[in-house]
Amino acid sequence: MTSKVCGVLLVALALNAQAELQALNDADLSAQSGQGGVYLSGEFSINKEGGVLWNTPASVTQTGWAANERSCHAPGSTATEACGMRLAVRSEAAGGWYVLDNLKGTFSFEGLTLRTRLINSGFGGDGALFNQDVIELGLPNEVKYKNGSFAFAVANQGGWRNNKAGAAAADTTYQQTNIFSAKLDGTIRMQGNVLIFPKN
């Protein structure tokens, strides 16, 4: 398996990207404007307005939540907050679950490009040796993050359950411990191209 991995060549995610970009021959690239590639602008979001499994309850008091309600507010907060996506993985047959919980956020960009490209020159002479087709993801200069968040946790069941006695459909045996949680807002600079190709 290890010898056959999909090779991902990240060409310049740092400031020295300019030098590498020159090697990709920008003039040729712009001359090929309107070829089969595509320029995408817009946004990608996860649970921008909450999810579809859990409605956001009116109050943070967990015992009052209905069977299809959950709030993912920060501890101590008195305002409810819509929940993000939840991913749980069990690594042992009868073990507990790793959980990536409350995963959400909006990522917007202008100018993510996608095309197929033959690299047979440039790269300081390596291109001619490489001589292969790649899928080129042209990174947008800026990606804006808005209201991004996630929490890393461990739990004894894959699905989240309300464990407060008295709540609707409660399962008091359910345990989840959040190890840490994070919030993301702002702008990330992503320049250059990601080239994806199979590697034998």
Partner 1 sequence: MRRSWLLLPFFLTPLAQAMQALDDEGLAEVNGQSGISIEHATSGWTAGSINYNSDGTTLSAKTLSLKPQAGTGTDSATLDVVGQQLQVEYSAAPRELNVSNLEFAGSTKSFGAFRAFFTLGASLRLKGLGASGVSGIALDGSRLSISDATFFYRDNGLDLIVKGVSFDTYLNNAYLDIVSGGTGSEVKLSLGSSRFVGAVGGISVDLAHSELSPVTPGSLDTRHPDASRSFGRVNMDLRLGGSLSIAGGGSTGQGLTIKPDVSFSNSLFQYQDEGVLRAENFAGTLRSTSGITVDLEQDGIGSYARLAFADLNLNATLGGLVMGNPTNQKLGSLALDLNFINDGSKQNWLKLRPGGDPSSGLKGLTADVSWNMANSSLSVTDNGNSMWFSGLKTNGTGQFTLDVTKGCSDGFATGCYAGSVSTNPASSNYDGHFNGIRLGMKNVQGSYSFDGLRVGSASSPLQGGTELLVLMEIFPAYDFIMNGQITLMPGGSSGDGLRYNADFMVTNGKAAITVDEAGKGLWLSGTTYEMHFRDGSLDVTNNGVELKKGTYWSKLDVSDVRWGNKDTGTSLGRLVLKRYEQGSTLALSSGGSGALCVGASGASSSACTANGGRWEDRGNEGVSVKLKAILAKDGSIEGTSNGVVTDEKRNQLIYETDRTLDGNGKPINGSGSQIVVDNVYTSDGNPVDPNANTYGVNADLSLDVAPTKVKIKSGPNAGTQVSPDPLGFAVNGRVHFKEINIDRLQNVHPTGGAVTAMYGIKLQNADVRANLTATPIN
Where in 6-65 is the site for partner 1 (CB under 8 A)?
Answer: 6, 21, 26-27, 29-30, 32-54
Among 56, 62, 132, 163, binds partner 1 (CB under 8 A): 132
Is 190 a binding residue for partner 1 by CB under 8 A? The answer is no
Is 133 a binding residue for partner 1 by CB under 8 A? The answer is yes
Contact 136, 113 (CB under 8 A): yes
Is 173 a binding residue for partner 1 by CB under 8 A? The answer is no
Contact 85, 51 (CB under 8 A): yes
CB closer to partner 1 out of 90 and 182: 90
Give how far Cα 94 sits from Cα of 55, 88, 163, 179, Å: 31, 14, 21, 21
Interface mask (CB under 8 A) for partner 1, residues 87-116, using x and -? xxxxxxx-x-x--------x-x-xx-xxxx
Q: How far is the CB of 57 from partner 1 (least distance, A)?
A: 14
Q: Single out the residue of 114, 80, 90, 108 nearest to residue 193, CA to CA.
A: 114
Question: How crowded is the C-beta side of 22, counted as CA atoms within 13 Å?
Answer: 4
CB closer to partner 1 out of 19 and 93: 93
Give how far Cα 186 sits from Cα of 27, 64, 143, 148, 149, Å: 32, 35, 8, 9, 12
Q: How far is the CB of 164 from partner 1 (least distance, A)?
A: 13
